[in-house]
Each structure stands twice: as structure tokens, then as C-alpha cells.
């Protein structure tokens, strides 16, 4: 027999073949645990089959013809072994049979043997390495019987070993030490079993009070339900709060709460709140042109004061719409107007709850006093701007678009730096008591000099208002008579004179005399060619300034004039006459 070959059909354990040597044979010495299978027939003979080291069975050696016959090999009684699962019919390479893929043998947790007479609970049916339920572990053998350490799997029935012409290598079970019977709550433990295999006996302990456990379980269930209800209510409240306030990640910045809204009466806000209900916006539409301006309520009868150049586009057949600060509208009609003062009165009917704006005294105004202008610049109604009185008695002329001088207005104006723009014309200029001290009338434009509403240049901080003392007198005359009167001195001025002062012309209009016979000037001794240099002690530098100073008074007022005649200064006194305005 060749070296390295097996000499007998000894049982083999399944193991992975090691290259370069034959499969390991069973040890010669007896195993600690013997197989309990029935003994084989002692008269039976078994032909030894050796493994060639590559997983294939080697044929028996040929015996020479002249050699004496060999005695049959004596085989000790052994229990035929059965592989853990069926042989691989496809001879999967490289090893052939199912050896390399055989599952690990089942193991048991050793437990102490119970004392004699102690009842043993039924064992837990564990699983083998392949996840198949395994039978209970064998109990302790009876005296005189060998202990077994291997239990065939239930899916592989035991069959007696029969010799085959070319048998495949038979798997041999790994010898296991004798396992005493389990005791207590620990049962069989299989590390290759299903993950749901319990380690303890799930049943109740002996003598347990199942009724009390059921009662405790019911109490726990009720407590869980109550806890779920409370948690649901709290969670719902939190969810509603988060939904109402925009979520947990929404950024909210700190902010001061709403104030009571009160403001000091002399503040800009307090002045505006008091004056705005009395301010109106006028939309004028005529046959050839239209415009927007501002006005304010004079009395509860519906009289509204504004500028003449605001209502001028309406002409004789135009339409005037008055819009109040609250949004109500009414149709207005012109009561009277005067181009020399650039003032007009419009009346609305069918309107109740009118609030007149109190009138102040423009003679009390001082340079530097704070003022507030209210109007509708560029048709933006209820616009409030503020500033100060930057000058007083500023002589200005506005108008002159007609070319004949009939539309020129002469104003001894209040100058303010409160922003005034087209659309502010006719609006009130009020003091810190919310009393009217002037009527916004003109602005100084950067590109066109002093201009009326027709100029579209913006404010550069030079606005002019008609003093309310003059506006009050003219408004009363327009309401009472429909016309205004102008104070006059009865002379014709030379408007082309470039020297200092106002010079009396040599002749009047249409060939009339320059000094009206019987007029106030003639009675005071004024002659043609005289140069008037002062009015009531204030210097006069041009003919326009003299007109402005005179119109700042009422007819019948007495004036003290200083004039130069032939290089000599003379002082005279006269009483102003009256002329009808246009």
C-alpha cells in the first residue's frame, strides 16, 4: 500500500483538506465519547477506500495472482455515519463534495446535572447552524451505557453503511464532550441559530400569580393611554403655536410696542394732525389747460382760500373739484379772484362738518420761527413739510405770462425754507399753534428765477407765502363783493429806471399825466421825475418794491415817504387811495 494512504475504513470528521497531505484519519486511541449506534455485523467485510488527497476515492490496490490471499480486515463495530446534508451532485470545484460548505456542528451550553428526583422542565427546541429546529439534547445515559456526544440532524435520517464501488468521503461528526442534562432557566444555546432564539424560559416561574400580573399589565396599559393623551395634547398645543408663529426657524427681531399715539401740540406731528382736516386739494379742468393746487377752509359756509393762478385754468366754463383730506369730494365754484394779489375764493355746497383753519397774525412772525407747509405737491395730497421763516417783507413779483402785465402779482412775502413745489400753491403755511400765517404762492427755481405754479422746477429751499394779514383782507372783500381793492398813490412809475429807488415817470399811460390830478400823490406834492427812496422808513430800491410796499397796506392808510428832487431829500405824508382790482 502506498505511503500516506488510509489503511482501514475508519470514520472521518468533515474538515477542509490541507494541500500536500491526505485527509486526517480518526485517532487510534478511543474517543472520550463513543457512538451509540448499533454494532455492525462482525462477519461483514469492508473494502478500504482511500482518498488521493484531491477529494477523489482511490481504487484498491491490485493483488498479484500468485500472492496468498490477504485475510479480511477486522473492522471494529462502528455506527455508520451520515453527512449533515446530501452530497453535492454537481461536484462543485475545487473540492468536490459538500465538505467545505458543511455547517458547523451544533454546540450546547454545559449545565449542571440536576439532583436525583428533581423535575426537569422541557427543553427549548433550538436550531442548528442551518436555522433548522434541533431535537432536545440527550439526557444522561443509563448506567452501563456509553454516553453519546453527537445527535444526527433531523433532516438526515440514519441509514446503515453499505460499501459502494467508489464511495465518496463520508463526513464524520466532531466528537463532543458529554453534555449533562440542562437545569434551571438556561437551555440549549446555538450561536448559529435564528436571531430570535431566546436565552431564558419564556414561561412564568413556578408558583407565579398570573392574576396579579394581568392586573398590573392592565394598570400599565391604562397609564400608557393616559400618558399618550397628555403627550398628544401638549404636542398639539406646541404644534399650533409653531404654526401660528411661523415655525421654529423663523427670525423675529425685537421691536418697540405700539405707543398711545399722542404728540405734543407744537410738534410737527401735532401741528399736522390739527391742520390736515382743514386742507383740501383742488383739481381744475378748463377748455385748454388743467392744473392742481391746494386750499384751506375759511368758514363753515364752505369758503376756501387759494391762489388765483390755481383756478385760472378753469376760465368761465371750467370745472373745479375739491377733495378733502378724508377723501370726500365736492364741486367748487369761484366766488371772486384777484390777479394783483394772486388770491381767489372758492365755495363748496352740500358739505357738512367743515373745520375752518384758524388764522394767525403775520405781523408777529419773526425770522427763524418754525413753520409747517401743507399741500399736494405734484398731486400728492396731504403732504407735510417743515422749515423756518428765513426772511420777511421779501418783495416778489410773479406771473406775467400774458405779456401785458395784467397777471403780475406783487407780494411783500414771507420767505421760508420749508420745501414748496408745484401743487403746494394756495396751501397754508402755519406756525407752531397750527394757525395760518401765510398762503404758499411762489418758489424760486434754479433755472427760471421766481416762478409761479406753471414752472416745474423743484424746490431749492426758497419758497414765498402771501402774509395772512393781506390775504384776510382780500378774502373778505372777495366774499363780500366779489372783487378786491388795491391801495394806490396816484402816480405812474418809470419801470425802466435802473438807479436806486422808484422814479416817477414823465408821463402816464395813453398820454395821461404821470401824476393823477386830484389823487393822493398830487395832494401830497409829488411831481414827475421825483425818486422815492423810503416808505415808512424802509429803503426802496426799485419800482416793483414800491408797489409791493404800498399793496401791503389797506386803502386809507397813511404813509410817510422820503423822496429826492434835484439832489435834495424831501419827506412827505399821504393817505392811500383805492382802486378796483382785476
- Catalogue the active-site residues: 309, 342, 425
Contact 553, 576 (CB under 8 A): yes
Contact 310, 342 (CB under 8 A): no
| Residue 331: cis peptide before it, omega within 30 degrees of 0 | no
Contact 465, 409 (CB under 8 A): no
Phi–psi pair at 568, nearest 5 degrees: -110, 145
The grid cell for 156 is: 438526515
Contact 293, 423 (CB under 8 A): yes
Selection from 400, 452, 389 nearest residue 426 by Cα:
452
Dihedral of the CA atoms 254, 257, 261, 266 (nearest 10)?
-50
* Residues 307, 325: Cα–Cα separation, whole Å: 19
Q: Which residues contact 549 (CB under 8 A, 6 or more apart)?
A: 395, 412, 535, 536, 538, 540
| Residue 94: cis peptide before it, omega within 30 degrees of 0 | yes
Q: Which residues contact 369 (CB under 8 A, 6 or more apart)?
A: 388, 389, 431, 432
Phi–psi pair at 429, nearest 5 degrees: -110, 115
Amino acid at each position: 500500500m502506498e505511503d500516506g494512504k488510509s489503511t482501514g475504513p475508519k470514520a472521518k470528521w468533515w474538515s477542509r483538506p490541507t494541500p500536500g497531505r491526505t485527509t486526517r484519519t480518526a485517532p487510534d486511541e478511543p474517543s472520550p465519547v463513543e457512538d451509540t449506534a448499533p454494532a455492525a455485523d462482525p462477519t461483514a467485510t469492508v473494502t478500504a477506500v482511500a482518498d488521493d488527497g484531491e477529494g477523489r476515492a482511490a481504487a484498491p490496490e491490485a493483488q498479484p495472482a500468485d500472492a496468498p490471499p490477504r485475510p479480511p480486515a477486522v473492522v471494529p463495530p462502528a455506527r455508520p455515519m451520515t453527512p449533515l446534508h446530501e452530497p453535492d451532485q454537481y461536484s462543485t470545484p475545487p473540492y468536490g463534495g459538500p465538505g467545505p460548505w458543511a455547517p458547523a456542528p451544533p454546540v450546547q451550553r454545559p449545565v449542571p446535572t440536576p439532583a436525583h428526583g428533581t423535575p426537569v422542565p422541557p427543553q427549548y427546541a433550538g436550531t442548528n447552524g442551518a436555522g433548522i429546529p434541533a431535537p432536545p439534547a440527550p439526557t444522561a445515559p443509563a448506567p452501563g451505557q456509553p454516553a453519546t456526544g453527537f445527535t444526527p440532524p433531523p433532516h438526515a435520517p440514519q441509514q446503515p453503511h453499505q460499501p459502494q464501488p467508489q464511495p465518496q468521503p463520508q463526513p464524520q461528526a466532531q466528537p463532543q464532550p458529554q453534555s449533562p442534562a440542562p437545569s434551571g432557566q438556561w437551555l440549549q444555546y446555538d450561536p448559529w441559530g435564528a436571531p430570535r432564539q431566546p436565552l431564558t424560559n419564556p414561561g412564568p416561574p413556578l408558583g407565579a400569580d398570573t392574576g396579579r400580573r394581568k392586573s398590573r399589565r392592565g394598570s400599565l396599559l391604562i397609564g400608557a393611554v393616559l400618558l399618550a393623551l397628555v403627550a398628544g395634547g401638549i404636542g398639539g398645543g406646541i404644534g399650533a403655536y409653531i404654526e401660528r408663529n411661523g415655525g421654529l426657524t423663523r427670525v423675529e427681531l425685537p421691536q418697540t410696542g405700539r405707543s398711545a399715539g399722542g404728540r405734543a401740540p407744537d410738534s410737527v406731528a401735532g401741528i399736522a394732525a390739527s391742520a390736515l382736516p382743514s386742507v383740501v386739494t383742488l383739481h381744475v379742468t378748463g377748455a385748454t389747460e388743467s392744473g392742481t393746487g391746494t386750499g384751506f377752509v375759511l368758514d363753515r359756509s364752505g369758503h376756501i382760500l387759494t391762489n388765483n393762478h390755481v383756478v385760472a385754468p378753469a376760465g368761465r366754463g371750467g370745472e373745479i373739484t375739491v377733495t378733502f383730506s378724508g377723501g370726500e369730494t365736492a364741486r367748487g365754484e369761484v366766488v371772486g379772484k384777484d390777479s394783483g394779489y394772486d388770491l381767489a375764493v372758492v365755495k363748496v355746497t352740500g358739505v357738512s362738518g367743515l373745520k375752518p383753519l384758524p388764522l394767525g397774525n403775520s405781523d408777529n412772525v419773526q425770522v427763524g420761527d418754525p413753520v409747517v407747509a401743507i399741500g399736494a405737491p405734484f398731486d400728492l395730497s396731504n403732504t407735510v413739510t417743515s422749515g423756518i421763516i428765513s426772511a420777511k417783507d421779501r418783495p416778489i413779483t410773479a406771473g406775467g405770462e400774458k405779456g401785458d402785465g395784467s397777471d403780475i402779482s406783487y407780494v411783500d412775502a414771507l420767505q421760508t425754507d420749508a420745501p414748496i413745489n408745484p401743487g403746494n400753491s394756495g396751501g397754508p403755511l402755519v406756525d407752531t399753534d397750527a394757525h395760518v400765517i401765510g398762503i404758499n404762492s411762489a418758489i424760486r427755481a434754479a433755472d427760471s428765477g421766481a416762478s409761479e405754479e406753471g414752472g416745474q422746477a423743484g424746490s431749492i429751499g426758497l419758497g414765498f407765502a402771501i402774509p395772512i394779514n393781506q390775504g384776510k383782507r382780500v378774502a373778505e372783500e372777495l366774499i363780500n363783493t366779489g372783487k378786491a381793492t388795491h391801495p394806490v398813490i396816484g402816480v405812474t412809475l418809470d419801470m425802466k429806471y435802473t438807479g436806486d429807488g422808484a422814479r416817477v415817470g414823465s408821463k402816464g399811460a395813453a398820454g395821461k399825466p404821470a401824476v393823477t390830478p386830484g389823487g393822493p400823490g398830487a395832494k401830497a406834492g409829488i411831481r414827475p421825475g421825483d425818486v422815492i427812496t423810503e416808505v415808512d422808513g424802509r429803503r426802496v430800491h426799485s419800482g416793483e418794491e414800491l408797489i409791493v410796499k404800498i399793496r401791503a397796506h389797506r386803502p386809507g392808510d397813511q404813509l410817510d415817504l422820503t423822496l429826492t428832487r434835484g439832489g435834495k431829500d424831501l419827506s412827505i405824508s399821504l393817505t392811500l387811495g383805492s382802486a378796483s382790482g382785476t
